[in-house]
Every structure is written in C-alpha cells, then in structure tokens.
Structure 1
C-alpha cells in the first residue's frame, strides 16, 4: 500500500471511531482531507468496501467533523459565487442580503433635515397681518395734483371782514363763494387753484386778506381685478397709488403675479407695475397715482425658480422671459 493510501486509511479509521464513540475530536490535517478528495469515486468506494463503511454516511460524518474542528461554513455570498450554486441558494442569498439592508436602514439613527419651505419673495409686502397702510386723507397735497369734483377748500377771511368757509368743487368743476360767485378750479393744480381763489377774494373785498388751504380730498372709484385677495370695486382717496390700492384689497393671492400688475384707463393699458423694482431698487416710478375709473389687474404668476444655500435671500422668485440663472443670483 502506498503512502498516500495509508494516510487515507488512517483518516477513515479516525472518522469511523469518532462517529461510533463520540470521543474527543482528532486533529485531522487539511492535507489528509485533500488527499482523500483527490481519489476517484471508484477508489473511494473500494476503500469503503474494504473497511465495511458506507461512503455516503462517511461523507456526512466528514462534514460534521469539518465543522466541529473549526471549519467556517460558506457565507451566502460565497455560495452564490460558487460554480453550480443551486437556485435555492441564490434566492436565499438575495433575500438575506435584502433583509440585512432593511435592518440597517431601520437601525440607522441618522437624522435627515426636513426640506426647508422657501417663502415667496415679496409676498410679505402686502401682509394683511401687519398694519403698515394708512389712509391718505391727511397727506400733503403732492405737486401736480389736479383739482376735480369732490375736492374741498377751506378759506379763512380776516381784516375788515372775517369769515371761515368750506367750499366744495361741484360737478361743473367750480366752487361757489358767498358774495363773489362761482370760481372755476377743476383741472388746475392745487397751487394754481389756491392762487386763483386768493386773487378773486382780494379783487372783490377791499381791506380783506385770505388764507386758502386744501380741505378734504375727493374719493375715486377703482376696479381691482385678477389674482388678488378680494377683487371688486373700491372707493379710495384720490392720492391712492398702485401699491396702496393693493394694500386696500389685502394684496395679491398665492397665484398672483408681483411682476405683472397692469393699470388700464379708458380701456387702454397705461403702465405695468413690477413690484420687484420697488423691493430690490426702491424704484417707484411706475407706482403711479390712480384716476377715477382706473382698472388695476393682477395677472397670474409667471415662471418661478427657487434658490437656496449661501445666498442673501433664499426664496422662490418670479422670473421674466429671457432672464438667466446669473440674473437670479
């Protein structure tokens, strides 16, 4: 018997004794197991018959011995990579890896920050909860203001004759002064009307001087439509501008544009107001004073873009056609 076969015989004897008597595990070297595995099936069966051993039972015992002496069972991944791996192993391995992934995610205590809800730029301009709008009845008369029906003048006389008169401009554009008669003032600026009244008094009364001041300002009717909080017809001061009119109705709605606010007069478009000019540059040139019968129409919001991160004003911005990312930043 050759030396290789002697080693194999010794391996059979050790395994057989261990299986019957369940004694302390022998120290079987990996070289002995490899030599037995290299034998052909016919040689393995011949050795088994010589020693009266069932080769199938011996192989099972060999597997038990290998595990007990410290052999590491193949991982699912190794079974999956092994040539000829059964389909059951492939399914089991894939399922095990999937479950491990779910468990890892479930045990992950990393806190993810919730997405920040960006405000719409300029929406706070007409915030109804902040009372920044005040009536313009007591405001100084601006240069260029034209007198019209409904305006009034306070006239105080002193000298040889005294008196205090409140005079309203009628629908014909005149004031009726006692002892003097009608004085045409409609269409004049405040300064022109004031000068005309004083000259008429001094020419009619000798030794009488006068003080003329502006009284109550007339109201005008506006129609405010489109995407605003409360559209409708409003009676407001004649000094009301586009932004003041929007304050009156509670501002634009969530889908209203801040950059496309159109003023129409007698059916014609007069101007388009862009609130970004006011917010970003303080430009009020297009925030014009409205006239009686004007229509203020707020269009639907246009294209929008969000910007966040290391910027001065992270928000949602309404952009005009032709603008670039650089313009937005």
Structure 2
C-alpha cells in the first residue's frame, strides 16, 4: 500500500509539472493519443507520435505500427519485436502517453453541462462530474449508474450512492474512470419512477424511464438509437425475476421491457 501511494504521488507531481506519465496498465491506447517512444541506448530513435484514427503510429525503421487498443506495455513489446527483426539487437522500448485525447466520458442527468467530457488522463467519478459543471443539487436523486466495458469485454453497470459520494468525497463510490464510460445521474423527480438500462451499441447508453408499455424499440430510441455497428437481430434482455436471473436472447424490437431490465445491444460481427 505504501508503494502504491508513492507511485500515485509521483504521477500527481509529474502531471502538475507537465511531464509525461507512464499510463496505468488498465489504459488502452486510442486514436488521438500522443505517445513518446524511447529506445534505450538509441537517442536518435526517440519519437513523439500521434495515434491515427485507424490506431497506427509511424516509427523510424519499421514504419506503421498498429497500437490502438493495446496497453502501453504491450505496444512497447510490439515495437521491440519489430525492431529486433533485423534492425536492433535486444531493443528495450518504453512508451509514455503524453496526451490522452481518446479519453471521453458521457455524463447524463442533472449536471450543469451534460454531454461528452474529454479527460486529460484517467479520472475519478467526482472529477468527471466536476468537469461536467457539477451536480444540480436540487434536481439530483439518490443514485447514479456507470456503464462501462467489464474485464471480459461485456458491458457492466455499476450503481453509485450519490449521497455517500458527496459526503465521503471518495471511497468505493468514487470510481476510477478510464474513458468510454457513460455516467447517468438520476433525477430527483424521477427517483420513484421505474427505469430500465440500455447498454452496448446505442448512441447514449444509460438508464431511462420504463413506463407501462415500454418495448425494446422505445428504450433504444430513448438511448439515441442504434449505432452503425449494432447487431439488431441479436438484442438480448437481462432480467431478474423472483430472485432468478434470465437472459432473453434474440428478442424482437416490440418485445416488452420491464422495470430494472438491462437491454443489451451487441456489436455486429461484420
């Protein structure tokens, strides 16, 4: 724990000084990020590169390298492998993320400036809410949900107690966000109304009112509609009934949605 605290303190100091920080392992490189790549013992190969929309960078000797979606350490290993293939003997590569341009979080609900929030690095939930202008306290309910990709790549929804988050100013409710999440803050006036969740390939994943007569199509419409890569024929509903979990696969768009259902829209394979 002391070592972890020391590392966090060092990173904070580096950020304040405007120096590059080695990205934490959960972070995946994305388009727009600016990377500094160094090769031990080869100062002439030190390169600063911006990741293209296709996830590539240009590096001396080896040309285009696909790094999008990789952790910095994995990207460094990839560059090492390519350099070792006829160029250098046992190269040692280190990659720093100087600018986190791919870190974006969507914030919905009673905040001053709802919408897309761009981060300069991994941030806490409180920091993200602050960047969205802060909470409109008179309109805020008691909870918020954070939708993000889980460790297995599937969407997960985390519930946060807003009161504890504000009063404690941290703790377990102050989640660490790495980009790509959707934060949905519940409104006070809708606190007692039934809701359902829409995740996956929709334009605004999050929590939405689920009135009587709600269907998959209506919920997807509230979530901004399908994205261009949505698998519309493979929509599934995750439901808890009588204490048992059910997964309804390949549901039609007119399938009824019940309160607390999770409507999951997977990505198309093609």
What is the TM-score with the length of structure 1 in the denominator? 0.42
Higher relative strand content: 2
Question: Rg: which structure is higher?
Answer: 1
